[in-house]
Amino acid sequence: MDVHSFSEDILYIWGDDESQYTDPAINFQNPAYNGQRGLQGDAYREFIPDSDLSALEGLAGAFTKALMEVRGKLYVAKPGFSLYPTSGTNDDYAYSRHLVVPSKSKALSFTVEWGTDFQPPWTEMQEIVKDVSAGLIGLGLEALGVDSFIFRNRDTFSSYEVQTTLK
């Protein structure tokens, strides 16, 4: 997870080009496509299996839903490329490692672009921290398969009850 400012988005792969899930031969490892990445609307699109794209969208959706519960802020979940073309981002690198070296585990990675200013006033930053923290918790619970999470103080600060419902 890479967290920085600004644009109120949660970004996932790919940053180097638009995504496609039908032709695995069209990918960053195929030198036939060198020099063709990074142009919106052209024929090149970076491959991602549909199941991985669905997982990324689900986790990012859980982030935006949980974040919205704090102050009603609407963060947009989208591929990094739709913000602007990038190369070498943590999202693309973390995900692509298992493609280059199959013995490495798959990592679904995100970038959170928080807030609407590069350096918001501290009072706003304190609220952004609450927003993003809630989003990260929501994403984590989704990754664990927890459908709901309730935290209750059972009897005045002496013990707590945590109730979870698995999906």
**pLDDT for residue 152:** 52
How would residue 151 be classed by pLDDT, with cut points 50, 70 and 90?
low
Record: fold of 2-166: Aminopeptidase (3.40.630)
Query: What are the sequence ranges of the domains in the chain?
Result: 2-166
**pLDDT for residue 166:** 62
Q: Bigger pLDDT: 73 or 86?
A: 73
How would residue 162 be classed by pLDDT, with cut points 50, 70 and 90?
low
Q: Bigger pLDDT: 165 or 8?
A: 8
How would residue 167 be classed by pLDDT, with cut points 50, 70 and 90?
low
The structure tokens 């491959």 sit at 47
DSSP state of 75: P
- Please, what's the b/e burial string for 56-71 (b: 16 or more CB within 10 A of its CB; e: otherwise)? beebbebbbbbbbeee
Region 122-129: mean pLDDT is: 96
DSSP per-residue letters across 103-138: TSPP----EEEESSSSS--HHHHHHHHHHHHHHHHH
Task: List the one residue out of 28, 141, 22, 145 whose CA is nearest residue 95.
Answer: 28
pLDDT at 157 over 50: no
Task: State how far the Cα of 160 lies from the Cα of 167, in Å rounded to an integer.
Answer: 23
Region 86-101: mean pLDDT is: 93
